[in-house]
Amino acid sequence: MDHTGFLDLLERRRSCRRFTPEKLDRETIGRLLLAACGAPVGSNRNEDIHITVVEDRAVLDELAAAMKRRREDREALRLITEKIPDRSAAAEDVFDPFYGAPAVFIVSHRVQDLQPGIEYANVMSVAMMMHLEATELGLGSVFMWGSLEAMRMYPEYDRTSELRLPEGFQPLLGLAVGHPAIPLESKEILPDKFGVNALPE
């Protein structure tokens, strides 16, 4: 498929789970944060969004504690591996829910009482902008949900305090970003990936 522009970018967009140790420079981090600021936010409540850039391995290890606990929960792990068989615990030599990425962007949202549920749409919008900009920059990136969800599943392993968030915010989605260990290949976009109907027919 011969595309240019945005569709070409989408064909290059991949989820990357293997990174080199090379750190991101300040300019690159700035580009990613600028892209995040291009995201639409419900009711223009931009003050409800907060982004934390984590490059400290010790903090990431703390945030990984709940996910490691989740992997010990055989029922929770069964549900994951049944859907994605190649992600079983045995398939990994050293478990790291952040895949060794040098930077993780955690998108947090103010706890909602006005429009419950919109926080998930907002953080995904912000993270997607950074994901696409990472692709444009030739970087790899992958969304991080499991570790943050695990902290809600096992409150005794909740390390949200490590993020030093403003009061009233909760981390909902992360994006691990780095230089891909294996070159990311373009892939044709299949037009029938999702079911679609139109009204009127």
Instruction: Please give the helix or strand (H or E) that residue 84 lies within, else none.
Output: none
DSSP-assigned beta bridge partners for residue 4: none
- pLDDT at 70 (0 to 100): 87
The yes-or-no verdict on residue 152 having pLDDT over 60 is yes
- pLDDT at 92 (0 to 100): 46
Q: Which sequence spans correspond to the domains of the chain?
A: 6-178
CA 87, chain centre distance (Å): 17
pTM for this prediction? 0.89
Which residue would you say has higher pLDDT here, 141 or 75? 141
CA atoms lying within 13 Å on the CB side of residue 88: 6
Q: Who's near 4: CB < 8 A, 6+ residues apart?
A: none
- Candidate CATH numbers 3.10.450.50, 3.10.20.30, 3.40.109.10, 3.40.190.150; the one for domain 6-178: 3.40.109.10
pLDDT, tens digit, for every residue of 11-48?
A: 999 999 999 999 999 999 999 999 999 999 999 999 99
pLDDT, tens digit, for every residue of 60-96?
A: 999 999 998 988 886 655 555 554 444 444 444 468 9
Q: In what order do the strands lie in the sheet with 169-178?
A: 49-54, 103-110, 169-178, 140-144
Average pLDDT of the residues of the chain: 90
- pLDDT at 135 (0 to 100): 97
Q: Where do we find the tokens 């068989």? A: 85
Instruction: Please give the helix or strand (H or E) that residue 47 lies within, else none.
Output: none
The tokens of 97 are what? 């829910």
